[in-house]
Structure 1
Amino acid sequence: MNTKTFALASLLMAMPAFGHHSFAMFELTKDVTYEGTVVEYRWENPHTHIIVKVDPGAADPSTIGTWDVEGGATNIMGRQGWTRATFKAGDHVKIVAHPMKDGTKGASLFYAVLPDGKRLYHDIARPKAEGGAGSNP
């Protein structure tokens, strides 16, 4: 393979990585609880999304409004027990997530608490004590 062909092939294979963002836009050291109603649940790649409406009267007034909480890819979320049917519009949910640094109504999912009390994590965010990344099987 000549140098030009190799360079072109390398560039084309790397292009999908350029389209993905880092987590630098999220305040990863801050956990915020958003408790409200699922407006929309999008089970799609490259990221799942839970759109949550937090009504006035919330314990934390700064969380009032409609939030777009971003999760991982469907295969990553699926390994933690998430499915296309985990939520439907109208479900009550409690989500703990890392807010956007710029104050935009978006966040990166840490975990969700389902109505039955079960926690579903966003893959590597799962604590080591509960079998997450870095834990011993």
Structure 2
Amino acid sequence: MDQDSSNKLVAERQEAEEKEAAEKEAADKKAADEAAAEQQRIDDEAAAEAQRLADEQAAAEEAQRQAEEQQRQQAVPPPAPVVPAPVAPAAPPAAAYYPNCSAARAAGAAPVYAGGPGYGTHLDRDGDGVGCE
């Protein structure tokens, strides 16, 4: 083989090796790009799942808060209206005497109780200790 043919053959081999190296580099770059795209897809899915779980947790916490608030509102009754205390009738005089139940009622003393002011057996028909009932 002459020098010219040998140089040509070496140049062709060198070109083939460079082409092969360039193709390998392109294939490696393509594989790296695909791996990066797949990793990005995985990361995006993980972020979406994390957001979904966070949203569910927030919704559950809000529902719990509302349920607790509703229980609090049901457990605490509204304040009762203020009702004035009843006014007691004036007490009969200590040494009262009522000839009949009409007089005791007119004085605001009926019914009269045994041992109390104004009680008399003539006012207690059934003898149970309560007159003018």
TM-score between both structures, scaled by the size of structure 1:
0.22
Structure scoring higher RCO (CA < 8 A, sep ≥ 6) equals 1
Structure in which a larger fraction of residues adopt strand: 1
Q: Which one has a bigger Cα radius of gyration?
A: 2
Structure in which a larger fraction of residues adopt helix: 2
TM-score between both structures, scaled by the size of structure 2:
0.22
